[in-house]
Structure 1
Amino acid sequence: MDEIYYELTVNPSSHRELFADFLADTLPVGFEETDTGFIVRSEDDLSTLQWGLEQFAEALQKALGSSIDVEMTLEKKRTEDWVRAYQESVTPVEVAPFYVHPTWSDPHPELVNIVLDPALAFGTGHHPTTASCLEAVGRFVEPGDDVIDVGCGSGILSIAACKLGANVDACDTDPVSVGNTLENCELNDVDLRHIWEGSAAQATATYDVVIANIVADVLVFIADELKKLLRPGGRLILSGILDKYEAKIVEAYADMDVAERIAKEEWVTLVVTPKG
């Protein structure tokens, strides 16, 4: 490992979710999400990324017709400080009844512990959409329920459901996510009933709870697939929804009742059930 590394701090004045998407699509490594923006660390010089972010901000301003300021600071640091800073930055997250923590911190003596060593803010409980979805899982998944996690990502929601005593299937169209889910299940000493690379349309069973923490457009696109997976009286947990797109989701699932709405910052999780 090199003795030095580069750290790029990025603080956009608005549209943080779009900058997060840009970084996720651009970087081969993870990044840290802070209260005001993002921190990217790499052994490679990040000057090109800084330039790319400047160009991205300019393009966004033209497309949206509004001013977007981006404060960026590029520093060179010692690698030993990187490891320490990383571990200090990854704090446990408490979303009752769950306690999500990295391997280097102690479990909670009273809550349901989930162990994850995160590479990204998404899928660790730190991001509002994951936290609100975890809250819904904690409230609506019962022991013995048959559950499917559609778009399992890191596997955090699958693990949460398993730890509540559910029988869990999971799927993701990304093979890396399937691998991450299996690794994290092993880390947490839980077993999935089935997991596959592919879509929810490949499922051959129906479920008491269907979890889909994706993005609004995909939730609209696969609405019929998700509804077919649900048993009578079942619960469909929809997450990854920016509040400005909530109306599109409500319209796509208009044949269902909204049993619960959980909002955190600009993100919304909806729990819907079949009418009647």
Structure 2
Amino acid sequence: MKKGITIIITVVSIILLWYFLIKPQDYQIRVTAKTFPGTVNQSLKAWNNSLENASIIQLEDLEQLKQSIVTGDSIHTYIWNISPINDSTSQLKVDVIDIDHSFKNKLSIPFADTNFEKGSRKFVTDFMSYLNKHIKEFKVTIINEEELPSTYCACVKHKTTQIKKANAMKDSYPFLNSVLIGNGLQLNGVPFIEITDWNIYKDSVAFNFCYPILKTDSLPFIKDITYKELKGSKTLKAIYNGNYITSDRAWYALLDYAKKNNIAVKAKPIEFFHNNPNMGGDALYWKTEIFMPLADQDE
């Protein structure tokens, strides 16, 4: 009998020690998102930027972020863990911590629905509302492998963040279009961007914004414009419908598809834009062809 009581006391003591001193989070929330991890990652960062007294950093990979919120006399930390369930669904596990009141939270949570729990659930629910609204604003369709033909083009170079990519294009579009036509060059297709560097962890991109042109024997010198050939390549292709600001959602979808199907790719997408955003209209009807080059090709 004494031995049994000793074992029970030991087990209970270990559980209490783990719960109060070792268990990393005060509270955990699990929700399901009807999209892939890349969209959750970018949406969470965009939503964070709309909040006061909030900061966010990406941890080891796209699927883990740490968000801090100043609320009252506390700093609440949310560790967002994003796991793909299938091609169109992700599991979000959110660990919530209030370091200054951690012991109090852990003591109270088993016995009552505390304000800390209610506030944490509301915070995650607010993000999910933001995310679900955004999901309705675009569509990504994976086409699978396709050959991208060679194209001769005139380009301007940019280096910016993913979220500012569309603004950089918008600033260059009138210049590129008018200068090329003004110098007698014949356009030969829709404008496109060629990503030359994508830092996935810093959300930064360098790219060429280009117009296909007919190559002639004598091309005029135009300041800030370079001529080049976009070499044909084997690629994974997707169709993106939505605002060009968030066309990178298709980049993540292609990376997820490539990973799932054991296809080696180079994270340097190429986007062809079939609509002029300045003409307005429902962005869901705008079409972008997006190509992710396969890795086993010569540069």
- TM-score with structure 1 setting the length: 0.29
TM-score of the superposed pair, with normalisation by structure 2? 0.27
Bigger Cα Rg: 2
Higher relative contact order (CA 8 A, sep 6+): 2
